Structure 1
Amino acid sequence: MSIHARLNPEAQSNLDAQRRASIVTSLIIAILSVILVVLILFFILLPSLMIKSPIIVAYSSGSEEEDPLQQKRITREVTPKPNAPSSSLAKVMASVTPSPTAVPIPEIEAVPALTYGFRDDIGKGWGTGGNGGGGGFGRIPATMRKRCSAADRMRRLKQSGGNEACEEAVVKALRWFKKVQRRDGSWGGSSQVAQTGLVLLAYLGHCETPLSEEFGEAVTNGMVYLIENSVKNKGRLCTNRGDNHWVYEHGIATYALAEAYMFCRLLGLNIPNLKDSVQLGVQWIIDNQNSSGGWEYGFDEGSRGGDMSITAWQLQALKAGYHTRLDFRNMPECINKALDYCEGRQNSNGGFGYTGTSPVGGGHFTLTGAGVLCFQQHKGSGHRAARKGMDYIDQHARISYQGGPCNLYEHYYVSQAAINHGGKSWLDYNDKFRDTLLSGQQGDGHFRAPPNPGPGNKNDPVYHTALATLMLEVYYRYLPGTGFGL
């Protein structure tokens, strides 16, 4: 006899419900497991499913050779303030390796802007002008390496009508300057501030800076001399303030320091007190403009109201000062007023007079190049006063280092005005001045006293050599005040 336990109906019903729930749960878990496995396999296989056959692109190499760059290492030394220059003066920066270029290549390249005007109210500045010639500086390469390359300099020199003899003469002159530099860093037997400014402009025009292998120490010493003069005279650059001709010295030296500041800023050079000297020097010019719009001896008001010769140097300094990107009070108003003054000095024949519309001493208008350059720098070569002045130059410019006239002061301006104007004016003028100017250089590099020098002459070989060198650099000169904008 077997005994079987029997569940009551309610318990049996609960047991059946639990069995059904267990089966459903097992099915759901199985389905989810299958889905999970499928997803895992999908993501594993997805990259291989998306691979496509690669597209092969072939490039043909050009035949143009790469321009090799030498790696430069630059060491920096910081000095607390400018000290009296000496043969042992440490350079602010020194290149470790020699270079065929005047400026060793920094680690970064600075790309200057090529806008020469002062906003819209002054004009767009440098232009080719004339009859479509290449007198402007628009083709200047944008980097320091290309602008200061000896090869590029020679290329542009030849394109503009120069030759190897021009470059050789410039280098000989720069070496002569280095040899005759005074122990305090200055040049010249008198008016050392002005003459040091002119020589410094000649070095900078050849792209020689404190970094230059051959001329770096001479450039540095000249800069320090001018900076110390500015510090001593509270921004007024002069050899002797008792001589009211110091207005010339201030304009020339400020012009030179402003251009030096431009190069130093591009190269990352911090020359103590250089920025302050430029700031004070340019602002002094603005603040001491004559009520006539020009500038007078000693920066006085005076009854003359200034003259064209003094005014031209101040306007060159203002142009260079603008390109420093420093802030100056009332600069646009000052320049506009000065250009109105210059236009009032222009004769109906196109020539620019001295204090009025008549030339110095009568006869030839020797300041015409100065007037033309002022308008080219601040209004552009197409300005009516600049074009009218060039017409006068085309007809009347004369220079001969053999028998005269040979007014280097006049032709310092005319050479710049002519190449900026370009076209036939430049071609004709280049034929007039190039070879005769070269004939004036002596074996040691200096230029002898010119015959029949006319107004503006100074009997000093440093003065003659500086002006002649600046004229020969006109083929490639590209600095802030005279053709290079930053």
Structure 2
Amino acid sequence: MSLHAQLSPEAEARLEAQRRSSVITSIMIALLVISLVVLVLLFILLPNLMIKSPTIVAYQAGAPQEDTMDQKEVNPQIQRKPSAPSSSMAKVIASTTPSPTAVPVPETEAQPNLDFGSGDDFGEGWGNGGDGGGGGFGNIPAVMRKRCSPEDRMQRLKENGGTEECETAVVKALDWLQTTQAGEGSWGANYKVAYTGLALLAYLGHCETPLSVKYGETVTNAITYLVNQSAKNKGRLGTDLQSNQWVYEHAIATYAIAEAYTFCSQLGVNLPGLMEAVQLGGQTIIDGQNAAGGWTYRFAEDRRNDSSVMAWTLQALKACKHTGIEFRNMTKAARDGLDAFEGNQHASGAIGYTGPTPKGDGTTLSAAGALCFQLWGKEAHSVPRKACKLINKNIKFDWKGKDTDLYGHYYASQAMINYGGRFWQEYNELFRDGTLAAQNNDGSWPLPGNTGHGLGNVHYVTCLATLMLEVYYRFLPGTAQ
């Protein structure tokens, strides 16, 4: 006889209904718990998911009356073409470890009334400010930023008398320079610091920065090499610091890294040691000025005012001023330097080497002096006006000719486009096509007929020719008429 209790059919039905209800309730509770967990996770993670990458504002050519900006999101890391990793960045990072050599803190100088023309800046915006907001090319002063839009660059090239062949020649030259760069980031042998500075200026003149896809690694390695040289030599930039020529190298390299710093600081590219190298480089030039207001070999304290040295130092100081970094006695140094140039000018308008007695036709150093006055806002001064008139009268251009000084044409191309008008039109017709025709198929230029002023080096010649063909857009020209 079974002792198990028997449930009635009605009781079994109620029990089964309770079981189903319990299962459904358990499932609903589980779903609610899962939903609650998901909501908590979203609450924690959502702010991080919504963070946007930093933006770089790329300049986009617009109507002449108003600049327009086109924002593009980019990876904040330096973008480079695929290649083997470079050790140069590790070297520069290592060079910035603490050392007994401290960067001097600039003292704020009293600013006397120097009457630097209508302002102490060149053209439209060759000063401390830009006319764009935010980071990127918009904050780079307009005088430099105009080179950074391909469309605007071509427009300015054609408006100023250039041709598409000029741009093609520049790109071919930059390609050639890229293939000839040493692994450490330098160029050349005897004057590596100067040759690296000139190549870097050529890249920056085409707005090629560490962020450039094609040339970014080349530019970064060049900057790194110069920063390493500065760190190694306590701010002095020269291949051989016992030679007379290191003062040229120092000025050229300082010019290049100062311009590089202006781009990098606005693009958010932090290259360790770059700011310190610029500050030391610029201050070394200022402190090396002699009592007569000029500069000479080895930054000696004698009163020899070397116009060739002064031209590079004044270009470098203008680029340093452009960075926004403070330097002791910058304004006084520029004023005294221009006064020294004026003291070297002959009544004919020609500027001499170490005094008012010109060499040859007088055009080379006359162009150098005229450019320096224009860069520092004194384009209406009698010195550059008289110098440009002499250049217009005397200058010649024949790549193979013995009386053509390419070093002088580096200066003349800039001085004459700044002067503008008939003088620029005539000079442009003189140098442009001859420079284009002389270029080699590989992008370099052959040695000219006159190899004075160090022009017996293909790298040096190629850098000068490239900078000459970038003159149409590298800076905004100032009209001195």
The equivalent position to 2:116 in structure 1, one of 79, 102, 122, is: 122
Residue of structure 2 equivalent to 1:335: 334
Query: Given residue 276 of structure 1, which amino acid in structure 2 is its aligned partner?
Result: E
* CA distance in 2: counterparts of 1:233 and 1:174, whole angstroms: 29
* CA distance in 1: counterparts of 2:262 and 2:151, whole angstroms: 23
Deviations 1:104-137 (A, max 9, x none): xxxxxxxxxxxxxx98643325667xxxxxx998
Residue of structure 2 equivalent to 1:312: 311
Task: Say which structure, 1 or 2, has more relative contact order (CA 8 Å, 6+ apart).
Answer: 1
* CA distance in 2: counterparts of 1:206 and 1:286, whole angstroms: 28
* CA distance in 2: counterparts of 1:127 and 1:150, whole angstroms: 23
Unaligned residue ranges in structure 2 (runs of 5+): 1-62, 90-111, 139-144
Query: Given residue 325 of structure 2, which amino acid in structure 1 is its aligned partner?
Result: L
Residue of structure 2 equivalent to 1:231: 231
- Tell me the SS of whatever aligns to 1:270: coil
Q: Give yes or no for the alignment of 1:463 onto 2:460.
A: yes
- Tell me the SS of whatever aligns to 2:291: coil
The equivalent position to 1:416 in structure 2, one of 414, 422, 442, is: 414
- How far residue 270 of structure 1 moved from its aligned partner, in angstroms, is 1.1
Deviations 1:340-380 (A, max 9, x none): 110000010001100111224x4544211001011111133
Q: CA RMSD in A?
A: 2.9
Q: Between Structure 1 and Structure 2, whose CA radius of gyration is higher?
A: 1
Q: Give yes or no for the alignment of 1:374 onto 2:368.
A: no
TM-score (norm 2): 0.73
* CA distance in 2: counterparts of 1:372 and 1:394, whole angstroms: 12
Deviations 1:379-427 (A, max 9, x none): 3321111111111111011111143433111010000000011111111
* CA distance in 2: counterparts of 1:292 and 1:242, whole angstroms: 23
2:88–2:185 CA contact under 8 A, matched in 1: no
* CA distance in 1: counterparts of 2:409 and 2:377, whole angstroms: 21
Residue of structure 1 equivalent to 2:142: none
Q: Which runs of 4+ in 1 moved over 4 A?
A: 66-70, 125-128, 135-138, 140-143
Q: Give yes or no for the alignment of 1:89 onto 2:83.
A: no
2:305–2:340 CA contact under 8 A, matched in 1: no
Q: How does 1:172-191 map to 2 (within 5 A)?
A: 172-191=172-191
1:172–1:445 CA contact under 8 A, matched in 2: yes
Deviations 1:59-103 (A, max 9, x none): xxxxx9x9895733213379xxxxxxx9413898xxxxxxxxxxx
- Tell me the SS of whatever aligns to 2:187: coil
Residue of structure 1 equivalent to 2:321: 322
* CA distance in 2: counterparts of 1:136 and 1:382, whole angstroms: 17
- Tell me the SS of whatever aligns to 2:256: helix
- Tell me the SS of whatever aligns to 1:71: strand
Unaligned residue ranges in structure 1 (runs of 5+): 1-63, 79-85, 93-117, 129-134
Q: 1:363 to 1:402 in 2, by over 3 A?
A: closer
2:338–2:373 CA contact under 8 A, matched in 1: yes
* CA distance in 2: counterparts of 1:265 and 1:150, whole angstroms: 21
* CA distance in 1: counterparts of 2:126 and 2:289, whole angstroms: 30
- Tell me the SS of whatever aligns to 2:76: strand
2:292–2:304 CA contact under 8 A, matched in 1: yes
Residue of structure 1 equivalent to 2:73: 72
2:349–2:383 CA contact under 8 A, matched in 1: yes
* CA distance in 1: counterparts of 2:71 and 2:122, whole angstroms: 34
Deviations 1:217-237 (A, max 9, x none): 000000000000000001000
The equivalent position to 2:475 in structure 1, one of 470, 475, 478, is: 478
* CA distance in 2: counterparts of 1:240 and 1:201, whole angstroms: 21
Equivalenced residue count is: 376
* CA distance in 2: counterparts of 1:247 and 1:235, whole angstroms: 12
- How far residue 250 of structure 1 moved from its aligned partner, in angstroms, is 0.4
Query: Given residue 395 of structure 1, which amino acid in structure 2 is its aligned partner?
Result: K
1:258–1:278 CA contact under 8 A, matched in 2: yes
1:227–1:274 CA contact under 8 A, matched in 2: yes
TM-score (norm 1): 0.72
* CA distance in 1: counterparts of 2:433 and 2:153, whole angstroms: 19
Residue of structure 1 equivalent to 2:384: 386
- Tell me the SS of whatever aligns to 1:323: helix
Query: Given residue 461 of structure 2, which amino acid in structure 1 is its aligned partner?
Result: H
1:339–1:374 CA contact under 8 A, matched in 2: yes
